[in-house]
Structure 1
């Protein structure tokens, strides 16, 4: 029995960056031998075991064979005869197909170290094209390591293009897709994830609503970058630079989908794109079964982001409606995330990345003013039921009028 660290643990150590996950492969062992040593089996599809003391995962060396469509369409074979090289060749990228023993002796049959030095994401074997999930994984790795100068090898991008055209991407489950998408969006350069998907033709298969934004112009006065797709990538980049949570990044990605529906004869204006885009945002949300908080914020940002930009001009009555839509009284954090998404949208414009966004503090102040209205005095006056609701609304409107006057003074 020989045990090796494999994959990301080896890759990241060689890159000199913190190792977060350690995967181990066991060569020359049987399931019975693992059980005899106290390892606990956890793998439903192939033999994976938890160490009896540390709880870390150990997998038996295995081979795999394509047997059906999609990510799950594989038959695995594990036995003591499977070599380390045979186990490594089934992996996606050369930089993930290295192993080392406890003395850090490197086993690198597919030249992963060479590709690390060349900053290339290259597939290990033609079997790469058998797993459609790898299109998303490679795009995610491109986003993770973009700041280190990594790019996708041309021949790997071509295999990804073939996969995108094969219909295999449609076999991916919403859950597996969302896992890769959400992880990619939380990388330091998530816009690279979208760029790579677009370069290999996967974006128009997985997210045609976003793909449709490229080549759609916007008014240069407000958007010096002009192209709506380029703007979307810049907004996503700003969200990452400002360490925004997943909810905000997802909303940033989807906020302008309505512009893809504007007839060419109306370009570069996009009248009512906020409302037009809601059905597209809903479709993308449902396609990937995004978590509820991501879905809700994306829809609200899509509908109201221009309200955010015009916050200082809004009438108190419109401002009150905006606050009501977000339920700022019970869910203040969601409104804070809306403000963040609006600010990222404003900063995601060429040359305007450092521009101040006074709307943010103004909206926070408005929410505070509305929340400060006390309900108890109204109850003491005898208001109840629908009448109480109307009375609260009147007082909040009065508070917002006073706030706006004070802010304008």
Structure 2
């Protein structure tokens, strides 16, 4: 039995990055031998075991063969005869197909170290094209390592293009797709993930609503970058720069989908794109079964982001309605995330990335003013039921009028 550290732990050590998760592969062993040593089996698809003390994953060396469509359409074969090189060749990228023994001796049969030095994301073998999930994984790695100068090798991008055109991407489950998408959006350069998907033709398969934004112009006075798709990538870039949570990044990606529906005859104006985009945002939310907080914020940001930009001009009654729609009295954090999405949208414009966004503090102040209205005095006045609700609305509107007047002085 020989045990090797494999994959990301080896890659990140060579890159000088922190190593968090460690995966191990065991060559020359049987499942019975692993159980006899106290390892605990996990997973039904192929023999993976948890170490009795560290709980790290140890997988028996295995080969795999395509047996159906999609991510799960594989037959695995694990036996003591499978070599380390045979196990490594089934992996996605050369930089993930290296192994180290307990002495730190590197096994690198597919030149992963050289590709690390050359900053290339390259597939290990033609079998790469058998797994559609790898399109998303490679785009995610491109987003992770873009800051180090990594790019997708041209021949790998070509394989990704073939996969995108094969119909295999449609076989991915929403859960597997969302896992990759959500992880990619939380990388340092999530806009690179979307760009790579676009470069290989996967974006128009997975998110045609986002693909449709590219080539659609906006008024240059407000959007010096002009192209709606380019703007969306810039907004996503700003969200990452400002360390926004996943829900805000998801909202940033989807906020302008309605612009893809504007007839060319109306370009570069996009009247009512906020409302038109809601059905598209719902489609994308449902396609990937996004978590509820992501779905809700994306819809609210899509509908109201221009309200955010015009916050200082809004009538107190419109402001009151906005706060009510966000349920700021019970869910203040969601409104805070909406404000963040609006600010990222404003910053995601060419040359305006550093411009101040006073609307943010104004909206926070408005929410505070409305929330400070106490219910108890109204109860003491005898209001109850629907009448109490109406009285509370009136008092909040008064508070917002006073806030706006004070702000204007």
TM-score using structure 2 length = 1.00
Q: Is 1:391 the counterpart of 2:408 in the alignment?
A: no
Counterpart residue number, 1:139: 139
Distance 1:269 1:53 in 2: 62
Shift of 1:21: 1.0
CA deviation profile, 1:151-181 (whole Å, cap 9, x unmatched):
0000000000000000000000000000000
The alignment partner of 2:210 has SS state of: helix
Distance 1:189 1:103 in 2: 35
1:305-324 to 2 correspondence within 5 Å?
305-324=305-324
Shift of 1:103: 1.2
Distance 1:57 1:88 in 2: 16
Counterpart residue number, 2:70: 70
The alignment partner of 1:177 has SS state of: helix
Q: Is 1:87 the counterpart of 2:87 in the alignment?
A: yes
CA deviation profile, 1:117-165 (whole Å, cap 9, x unmatched):
0000000000000000000000000000000000000000000000000
The alignment partner of 2:63 has SS state of: strand
Shift of 1:116: 0.3
Counterpart residue number, 2:276: 276
1:363-402 to 2 correspondence within 5 Å?
363-402=363-402
Counterpart residue number, 2:126: 126
TM-score using structure 1 length = 1.00
Distance 1:3 1:106 in 2: 13
The alignment partner of 2:85 has SS state of: helix
Please, what is the CA RMSD of the aligned residues?
0.3
Counterpart residue number, 2:345: 345
Shift of 1:90: 0.1
Distance 1:56 1:159 in 2: 33
Shift of 1:38: 0.4
The alignment partner of 2:115 has SS state of: helix
Distance 1:253 1:103 in 2: 46
Shift of 1:200: 0.2
Q: Is 1:116 the counterpart of 2:154 in the alignment?
A: no
Counterpart residue number, 2:233: 233
Distance 1:270 1:165 in 2: 31
The alignment partner of 1:92 has SS state of: coil
Give the number of equivalent residue pairs.
Answer: 409
Distance 2:271 2:224 in 1: 19
Counterpart residue number, 2:13: 13
Shift of 1:250: 0.1
Distance 1:113 1:143 in 2: 20
Counterpart residue number, 2:25: 25
Distance 2:254 2:311 in 1: 21
Distance 2:321 2:104 in 1: 62
Shift of 1:54: 1.0
Q: Which runs of 4+ in 1 moved over 3 A?
A: none
The alignment partner of 2:58 has SS state of: strand
The alignment partner of 1:270 has SS state of: coil
1:157-236 to 2 correspondence within 5 Å?
157-236=157-236
